[in-house]
Amino acid sequence: MSKWYPKNGRVIFHVDMNSFYASVEMAFDPKLKGKPLAIAGNPEERRGIVVTSSYEARKFGVKTTMPVGEARRLCPELMVMRPNFERYRTASKEMFKILADVTSLVQPVSIDEGYMDITNCSSQGSPPEIAERIQQRIADELDLPCSIGIAPNKFLAKMASDMKKPMGITILRKRDLQNKLWPLPIEEMYGVGDKTAEKLRRIKVETIGDLAVHPVLELKRLLGINGERLQNRANGYDQRPVDPDAVHEFKSIGTSTTLPEDTTDDQEVRSVLRKLTHKVEARMKNKKVLAQNVQLMIRYHDRKTVTRSRQLKEFIQSAEDLFQVSLQLFDEHWNQEPIRLLGITAQDLAEKSEITQQLDLFNYEQYASKEKLYKAIDDLTEKYGSNPFQPLSAPQNNTVTTSFQKDFLDDFKK
């Protein structure tokens, strides 16, 4: 057993659920199994986006972020369903319970993947044996497939879990890098996006192996400190611990929407911004945080994307405050071209309980004059269970919508 559990090393798992949303729907309705299935936000609209798809659909070229219309052209038999977030949230919570039965060192990183540190689990068997039991339990109890990467650190475990899907178990040691990792194209490396890959190819970095041996000074000139970090990862170095407490950390709260049609209509833009700010406000209240920075994202008809942000003197939370800052950013930076997507993100977050409003000579009178009104609203809210003075511009749908991949962790940490 000592060969599996080195004295000075770690044994890390990366557990990655396969085609998670589609697999959950198939577990819920077995008639869907074996069918080409896609989950999309707006399946009725040609421009709705595929969130995930089954492996049967992927054989036809259906991919995540692909427009529904294009997916249906590639796969005429494609079945398209709206996402059922509560169903996925429940399945995710049960999956992480299974992982927690093995070790307390579990770090969820999204709804369908997480890391485990099993360094001190030698009494439960070898790492492959533990991985097989986890995989089998998830399949037997939840009827869901997963892949597991086994490695001495988080980066290599993540790369390993991607090497065999679905239902794969892959071991990736540092001595395996030259044969298993380095031949892979640079864009397949975790942490390298399309733009970074494009930059690296300009300096003849075509594979992960090329990155591992490239002069570090040139990488730092091209990518800054991230260039050196990526090279370390390519050589198998990653000291990040599996941190269960990381589930409590979040740096921003944002949401975005793709418009039904590209638009230059100022009134339509204002309406979309208002809806987005109400969603952000609801999530901020749910997490009990305030923001001191607001970022606006504009994606144009040609997919060119710009982001602009504003640092504020005071912390804010209300949809109206978020809307006013977002609108100012929009008015200042819109180039008058048709808009495809808008997004708003609240940043520089702080817990509401830790923030004390600093009332100075100029804003004290403003707050004091409304104190009785605020108290009356609070009293009525407590009596009737909801705020009876919702602004007319607020969405009438009382369902709190969320950025699901970020917010599902709330369930896990309770």
This prediction has a pTM of 0.67
Q: Residue 309: name the closest of 277, 344, 360 by CA.
A: 344
The pLDDT score that the predictor gives to residue 287 is 81
255-292 pLDDT, tens per residue?
999 998 999 999 999 999 999 999 999 998 888 888 88
> Does 176 count as an annotated binding residue?
no
Amino acid symbol at 177: L
> Does 16 count as an annotated binding residue?
yes
Rounded to whole angstroms, the Cα distance separating 127 from 129 reads 5
The pLDDT score that the predictor gives to residue 216 is 96
Q: What is the DSSP string of 325-377?
A: HHHHHHHHH--SS-EEEEEEEEEEEEEGGG------TTTHHHHHHTHHHHHHH
CATH number assigned to the domain covering 178-234 = 1.10.150.20
Rounded to whole angstroms, the Cα distance separating 28 from 26 reads 5
Average the pLDDT over 48-70 and give the result. Answer: 91
223 Ramachandran zone, left/alpha/beta (phi>0; psi -120 to 50): alpha
Query: What rounded mean pLDDT belongs to the chain?
Result: 85
Rounded to whole angstroms, the Cα distance separating 343 from 257 reads 6
Q: Classify each residue of 125-153 as buried b or exposed e, where b means 16 or more C-beta atoms within 10 Å of its C-beta.
A: ebbeebbeebbebbeeebebbbbbbbbbb
The pLDDT score that the predictor gives to residue 391 is 44
172-190 pLDDT, tens per residue?
999 999 999 999 999 999 9
Rounded to whole angstroms, the Cα distance separating 315 from 409 reads 24
Q: Which CATH superfamily is domain 250-413 in?
A: DNA polymerase, Y-family, little finger domain (3.30.1490.100)
* Catalytic residue list: 113
Pairing of strands 339-351, 106-110: unpaired
Residues 6+ apart with CB under 8 A from 94: 141, 142
Residue ranges per structural domain of the chain: 12-16+86-177, 21-84, 178-234, 250-413
The CATH architecture one would assign to domain 21-84 is 3-Layer(aba) Sandwich (3.40)
Sign, CA dihedral 263-264-269-270, equals negative
DSSP 251: -
Is the CATH code 3.30.70.270 the one for domain 12-16+86-177? yes
